[in-house]
Chain A
Amino acid sequence: MTNAAPTTTPRPVPGDTPSDRSLAHRLRADGATSVKIGCEEGACGACTVLVGGEPLPSCLVPAWRHSGPVTTAAEVAATPFGHHLARSLADHGGLQCGFCTPGILVTMVALVESTPSAGVDDVRNALRSHLCRCTGYRAIVDAVVTAIETRS
């Protein structure tokens, strides 16, 4: 049981918004600072949010495309499992600078939502959407697997 995350709905986009403005920039302009702007190429995963329950790199999503609910890392972290996973990441040294952590948190909560019995291979595959330059990934995998095994 991961407990559905609350969602945030971005404010309507002004009519003169450039059509190539990304959802990531729009969410940050709305105060959602847990959405990190990294590579803006969809490679680093720092800006990952849930749209319709799917983790997407919000830097590649046009702002105009989604006016509906979006779940950011801050909202994911406020759920019981999200908080449990964040605690596990801290306990296992699964972060150092922490810039990649919000996106990873979003992706892993979505993974457990879709695959409650996710194992090491599932976690590693999901991590392919993220770059972490501090940990070498092993501690992140350990933290996620432990969080899955010990969730209530």
Chain B
Amino acid sequence: MNPSVGGRPSSEGRPPAAGSLTEAMVLVERGATPISGGAALMSRAFPGVRPGGTLLDLTPLGLETLAPPELGAGVTLSRLADDGDLERRWPAVSQAARMTANPAVRRLATLGGTVAAKLPTSDLAAALACHGARVEILTRGGTSSLPVEEYWADDAGRGPHLVVGVDLGAPAPGAYRRVAGRHGPAPAIATVAAIRSGNDLVMWAGACGRAPLRVDPTTLATAIPPVSDRRASSTHRARLIRALGTELKELLT
């Protein structure tokens, strides 16, 4: 690919790199796959970039703002996990970042890539949903934002776009818990995040469907039943949500 509008031409195997968001958007509309850290795109665990597919290197755009509640798409999960302000004021998100993958992968993986990949097993999804976080996207029409859970749920209707950041929403005391098939880094079978908002609890479950599910903090049930798959049944996941939710209720009330 040798774009006539924007982007540095490819050389020595290096894909074009956008010089501005406008240039990047033009290339995305032409079908380029944005890449930043590369953790999801390069992994065999996830749908990868097809050989011969065109990548678009986002790293020169410098989307690395780490000023909670404003987070740039290029911030690595390692920086999120180590940020003291996030740990104090958005503890559920901080804990979810620390439990994502392993330390080495977190040095590569970015927030934008994690959100854009929309992996159902993402640790961040439920924690972000608890705070009412919004995904900031760029389309040809300009910048807009939408709730995290809506972004995760929508598989095809968005059209060409770039994830440029996340607005975390208001800080609140909270916590995050997960259950996986084994100790240590492994995809979660069920996750629950909760925050205290005034006298109320806000609770969301992750890894239980394509998008995070809202949990009723009184009944500890979800309105939509958790999914059944090879790793766990819906019934088992509902029990895990109750167990993790009970722990978080005791912690936060």
Contacts and interface: CB of A to CB of B under 8 A. Distances in A.
Given A13-B13, A64-B14, A128-B103, A39 B38 contact: no
Interface string A13-36: 111111111100000000000000
A106 B107 CA distance: 15
Contact of A56 (B13, B15, B35, B107): B107
Given A19-B49, A19-B54, A126-B103, A57 B41 contact: no
A39 to B, nearest CB: 7
Interface in B62-108: 101-105, 107-108
Interface of B is mostly: loop
A62 interface: yes
Nearest to A47: B104
A113 interface: no
A22 B51 CA distance: 12
B12 A19 contact: no
Q: Bin chain A's interface residue count.
A: 35 or more
B159 interface: no
Contacts of A63: 13
B12 A129 contact: no
B5 interface: no
B49 A67 contact: no
Interface in B17-47: 35, 37-39, 41-45
Contacts of B141: none
Interface residues of B, number: 33
Given A14-B13, A41-B45, A60-B39, A19 B104 contact: no
A60 B38 contact: yes
B108 A60 contact: yes
Contact of A41 (B12, B35, B44): B44
A45 B103 CA distance: 10
Nearest to B187: A43
Given A20-B42, A65-B38, A128-B185, A57 B13 contact: no
A55 interface: yes
Interface of B: 10-15, 35, 37-39, 41-45, 48-55, 57, 101-105, 107-108, 184-185
27 contacts: A12-B12, A13-B13, A13-B14, A15-B12, A17-B12, A19-B49, A19-B54, A20-B41, A20-B48, A20-B55, A22-B42, A41-B45, A42-B39, A42-B101, A42-B105, A43-B101, A48-B104, A57-B108, A59-B43, A60-B105, A60-B108, A63-B13, A107-B104, A128-B103, A128-B185, A129-B103, A129-B185
